[in-house]
Structure 1
């Protein structure tokens, strides 16, 4: 039965062990994203307003709750690359759990509340990441994305395409959506590019195509991000 003497153990797990497990989980995702050529990699720990940033890591006010990573411009966007990226968090949690168990068994570290909590909550993290289910906010678990990709349902990573095109008759730059509807008009190319990036970033997975002198060039892509 949970008693008053267990409160310090609960606080230790909630405020220290869980954030460490979350960091390891996101590290697995970004490791494979980096291998696939991902740029502008960031790891966000917690939710709420930002407290501080150190390199690619941003820590938010409620650092013990939630976490995710973002990256852009991966070079390899095929099915297997995405399976590896979405499996990375589960793999890193599993490997770190096995490592702790082996270190305890070989007496390199002493068994205690921290090693117990780390192992227990890592397995908890792995279970709910593997479980193929949708989330209330419209996102999917890593397991759901992986299962859909294995089944050949590649629409989960199918990108919306936004195009930046110069309209000579109006002497303006247009942003077109994936159905060729005009979303916005700008006088300068750099303003149109900035506007297209803002739209595409909010509608992952997506990519931006610049049409110049009747040639198409992908200038940015925003993959679906794992949680």
Structure 2
């Protein structure tokens, strides 16, 4: 039965763990953009801006959505664009594997927060890989990677 403790656990996961997973995901994209010579803008959430510093923006509803826009890459080809769009999944799965390694080797104690983080990271990565067109020329990571490899079609850039 779903009780009060479960509701508190849900709020904890929804308002804290899930946004952290989302931030790790977009930092994966941003890291590869920077690695291949581009500039990026990162936005976490929707609504009014609560915090803005450099290319990072956090909105009032920080738990809803996140995205990265980037300028043309210095090294622009299929492989670099593929890695930019795969970067979020790489960071989500990589952080989960690292967390599991640290727990398995005794560096961290197993805790529910790590289990929830791992669950949400794998969930996030799985849904990011689904080939979905959101409209207005925006695609999921999976569809972007497919279009890049199949048609050499890059996403829209920011100016």
TM-score (norm 1): 0.65
Structure 1 alignment gaps of length 5 or more: 159-203, 206-221
The structure where strand makes up a greater share of residues is 1
Highest CA radius of gyration, 1 or 2? 1
SS at match of 2:109: coil
- Contact 1:25–1:90 (8 Å) recurs in 2: yes
The corresponding residue for 1:157 is 154
The corresponding residue for 2:96 is 97
The corresponding residue for 1:81 is 80
The structure where helix makes up a greater share of residues is 2
Q: CA deviation at 1:5?
A: 1.7
Counterpart Cα distance in 2 of 1:87 and 1:8? 33
Q: Structure 1 segments of 4 or more deviating over 4 A?
A: none
Counterpart Cα distance in 2 of 1:142 and 1:6? 32
Q: CA deviation at 1:9?
A: 0.7
Q: CA deviation at 1:24?
A: 0.7
Q: CA deviation at 1:136?
A: 5.0
Q: CA deviation at 1:149?
A: 2.0
Counterpart Cα distance in 2 of 1:73 and 1:150? 17
The corresponding residue for 1:19 is 19
Q: CA deviation at 1:68?
A: 0.7
Give CA deviations for 1:27-52 in whole Å, capped at 9, x if unaligned.
1101111111112x221111111001
- Contact 1:9–1:113 (8 Å) recurs in 2: no
If asked which structure has higher relative contact order (CA below 8 Å, sep 6+), I would say: 2
Q: CA deviation at 1:80?
A: 1.1
The corresponding residue for 2:35 is 35
Give CA deviations for 1:157-210 in whole Å, capped at 9, x if unaligned.
17xxxxxxxxxxxxxxxxxxxxxxxxxxxxxxxxxxxxxxxxxxxxx34xxxxx
Counterpart Cα distance in 1 of 2:26 and 2:17? 15
CA RMSD of aligned residues (A): 1.8
SS at match of 1:135: strand
SS at match of 2:101: helix
